[in-house]
Amino acid sequence: MKDNNCIFCKLANGEIPTATIYEDEDFRVILDANPAAKGHALILPKEHYANLYELDDELAGKSMILAKKMITKLTKALDCDGYNIVQNNGEAAGQTVFHYHVHMIPRHKDDKVGLGWTMHELTEEEKALKEKQIADLKASIERRKKLLANENYVSKAPAALVEKERLTLASEIEALELLEK
Ligand code: AMP
Ligand code: ZN
């Protein structure tokens, strides 16, 4: 269904001309009128859905597959270093046009495109949860280190299993570093 009062319905269906970079049966991809970076594009379904909550499951999947296809091509064409895929739902989340759309924003190393967020101060509950995660992780690391230091285990266990333990240990150490940052 189209919504007669929706500008994105009109753009998606070609009723209002716009810079189109891709079109198929379900979607039109257009350039954003106020780009965060050169090449900032929007995936618009041709049917009207206000947001991801309302979007048909099949189209939701197709829109992400299309995003993947588009950024793969565009990364080469624009010679950029990465892409942000942004999708806002609801006014509180920064949505200003209430027709589902996916932003694709090309990024270059050290560009000044501001999409980050500042982390909020942890609540007491969140702090306690984090402390517990750290303690559990440390205990698991110690157990695994002991296991891998046990020559009997290392010589008798299947090599693939020992290797898996080593990889898990490396991941746990990395996870701990991130949590303790
Ligand atoms: P959002 O804040 O996620 O709802 O994003 C809406 C986006 O639509 C903004 O980035 C706008 O710059 C863009 N936009 C609004 N009107 C038009 C238009 N007529 N053509 C192209 N992009 C538009
Ligand atoms: Zn619409």
Task: Report pTM.
Answer: 0.83
Nearest one of 158, 163, 131 to 144, comparing CA atoms = 163
pLDDT at 71: 98
Give the residue, by CA position, lying nearest to ligand 1 atom 12: 34
Which residues are tagged catalytic?
Answer: 101
Do 87 and 103 meet the contact criterion of CB atoms below 8 Å apart? yes
Q: Tell me which ligand sits closest to the C-alpha of residue 5.
A: 2
Residue 179 structure tokens = 């949590």
What is the CA(35)–ligand 1 centre distance, in A? 9
Task: For 81-134, give the DSSP string.
Answer: SEEEEE---SGGGT--S-S--EEEEEE-TT-------PPPPPPHHHHHHHHHHH
Do 56 and 84 meet the contact criterion of CB atoms below 8 Å apart? no
User: Cβ–Cβ contacts within 10 Å for residue 146, how many?
Assistant: 10
Alpha carbons within 13 angstroms on the beta-carbon side of residue 110 total: 0
Do 19 and 44 meet the contact criterion of CB atoms below 8 Å apart? no
pLDDT at 128: 92
pLDDT at 2: 84
| pLDDT tens readout for residues 18-76 | 999 999 999 999 999 999 999 999 999 999 999 999 999 999 999 999 999 999 999 99
Helix (H, G, I), strand (E, B) or coil at 22: strand
Q: Summarize the confidence of residues 106-119 as an average pLDDT.
A: 89
More confident residue, 17 or 79: 79
pLDDT at 78: 96
Q: Is 118 in the pocket of ligand 1 (CB under 6 A)?
A: no
What is the CA(76)–ligand 1 centre distance, in A? 24
Most distant CA pair in the chain, distance: 74
For the beta sheet containing 27-31, the strands, ordered from the edge strand earlier in sequence to the opposite edge, are 20-23, 27-31, 41-45, 102-107, 82-86
pLDDT at 117: 80
pLDDT at 88: 97
What is the CA(28)–ligand 2 centre distance, in A? 12
